[in-house]
């Protein structure tokens, strides 16, 4: 059914999820269906072809392109070491001899008698794809990768930077509305996933880098601090490849916004456990959001199909987050769902809902400016 609210972020104690693990180019799958894998275990491997170095032999030897074959020492397919002679001319007087040396160690990939160019390629680089989560291989996609299934607790963030990593969860603050400051970050947090409260300052980000945390999970951050951290202004939200020293996940958004109590409580309950996290974000309809996956060690790995986290629609009593000013970040529950369009202060006529906040106050908010906090 069509719906005019934003499908929410999932925060759930119990979910069965599947993650597709695909190589960026065809390779070898190292595991079989039905096998149990660890998060740090390679599940597939590919060889990334080495860098290519073009070299114009014809120019360097001072001959026509279609003549280069006569001067070659190395032929296409031959291995070559750095500074080894690729081609040379044979002058009558030795002094005029020109040798063209290989700038790299690799192979001679191809030669062109049209351009006089030789293409050299460095040895391939091995790319290993890890399991990412502890789980069960439920599908093998030949040459490309696998699908891993796991029983876990799942928290989706709204925005993140940095790639996949894992570490032990450590709660650095005492409440979801506390600001994470440099003094909260201690050397014992090295390699761990640190959970903060409502906000992290640029000083605390610097401190996190010094400490060497694996990940940071925070309610909010200022855009200017993100810009300082990245070294540029992020124009389009396609992230996951940044290398700032740790993976950063925002659960609420930009600004100082207390982490949703449900999120904070769930993470607190799993303090000390290992979590797989990813900052990869791609914001389009049907988005990729950053995530914190805490494999559920006590439950057996599901053999059945993954339970779906989709839901039918919004209902009275559902917990929701306001995602646009003036009440941005406030969390409440749906009080009523009027079906008629209503005029809002901008004069737009839109579908709205009435939200009741914990202090008992109510507000009428466009449905598109509401996000469900999903998960049981």
Interface contacts to another protein, rule CB under 8 A: 1-3, 6-7, 22-26, 49, 51-54, 65, 109-110, 112, 114-115, 117, 119, 121, 143-144, 158-159, 222-224, 226, 233-237, 253-255, 281-288, 309-310, 323-326, 328, 344-348, 350, 365-366, 368-369, 371
Cα 90 from Cα 222, distance rounded (Å):
67
Rank residues 167 and 375 by Cβ distance to another protein and give the closer one.
375
Cα 356 from Cα 362, distance rounded (Å):
4
Rank residues 274 and 278 by Cβ distance to another protein and give the closer one.
278
Cα 148 from Cα 11, distance rounded (Å):
20
Q: How far is the CB of 301 from another protein (least distance, A)?
A: 21
Q: Which residue has the tokens 């002058």?
A: 91
Distances, alpha carbon 74 to alpha carbons 69, 86, 94, 157, 277, in Å: 10, 5, 21, 55, 48
239 class by beta-carbon count within 10 Å (0-12 exposed, 13-18 middle, 19+ buried): buried
Q: How far is the CB of 349 from another protein (least distance, A)?
A: 9
User: What are the structure tokens assigned to 253, written together?
Assistant: 């958004």
Rank residues 211 and 277 by Cβ distance to another protein and give the closer one.
277
Rank residues 30 and 230 by Cβ distance to another protein and give the closer one.
230
Largest CA distance in the chain: 99
Q: How far is the CB of 178 from another protein (least distance, A)?
A: 20
Q: How far is the CB of 325 from another protein (least distance, A)?
A: 6
Cα 152 from Cα 10, distance rounded (Å):
12
Q: How far is the CB of 161 from another protein (least distance, A)?
A: 12
Rank residues 170 and 327 by Cβ distance to another protein and give the closer one.
327
DSSP 268: H
């Amino acid at each position: 059914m069509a719906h005019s609210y934003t499908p929410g972020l999932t925060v759930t104690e119990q979910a069965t999820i599947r993650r597709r693990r695909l190589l960026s180019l065809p390779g070898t799958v190292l595991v079989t269906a039905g096998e149990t894998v660890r998060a740090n275990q390679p599940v597939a491997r590919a060889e990334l072809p080495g860098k290519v170095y073009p070299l114009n032999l014809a120019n360097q030897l001072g001959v026509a392109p279609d003549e280069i074959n006569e001067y070659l020492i190395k032929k296409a397919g031959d291995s070559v070491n750095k500074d080894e002679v690729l081609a040379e001319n044979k002058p009558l007087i030795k002094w005029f001899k020109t040798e063209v040396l290989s700038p790299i160690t690799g192979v001679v990939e191809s030669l062109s008698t049209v351009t006089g160019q030789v293409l050299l390629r460095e040895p391939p680089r091995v790319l290993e794809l890890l399991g990412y989560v502890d789980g069960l291989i439920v599908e093998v996609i030949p040459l490309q990768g696998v699908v891993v299934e796991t029983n876990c607790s799942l928290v989706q963030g709204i925005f993140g930077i940095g790639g996949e990593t894992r570490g032990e969860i450590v709660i650095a603050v005492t409440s979801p509305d506390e600001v994470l400051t440099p003094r909260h970050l201690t050397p014992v947090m090295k390699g761990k996933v640190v959970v903060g409260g409502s906000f992290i300052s640029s000083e605390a980000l610097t401190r996190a880098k010094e400490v060497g945390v694996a990940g940071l999970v925070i309610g909010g951050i200022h855009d200017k601090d993100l810009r300082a951290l990245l070294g540029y202004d992020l124009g389009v939200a396609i992230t996951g490849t940044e290398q700032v020293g740790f993976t950063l996940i925002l659960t609420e958004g930009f600004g100082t916004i207390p982490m949703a109590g449900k999120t904070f409580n769930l993470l607190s309950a799993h303090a000390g456990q290992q979590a797989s996290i990813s900052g990869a974000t791609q914001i389009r309809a049907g988005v990729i959001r950053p995530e914190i996956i805490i494999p559920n060690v006590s439950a057996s790995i599901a053999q059945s199909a993954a339970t779906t986290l989709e839901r039918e629609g919004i209902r009275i009593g559902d917990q929701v987050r306001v995602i646009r000013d003036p009440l941005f970040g406030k969390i409440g529950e749906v009080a009523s769902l009027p079906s008629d369009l209503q005029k809002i202060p901008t004069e737009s006529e839109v579908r709205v809902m009435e939200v009741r906040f914990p202090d008992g106050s109510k507000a009428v908010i466009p449905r598109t400016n509401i996000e469900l906090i999903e998960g049981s």
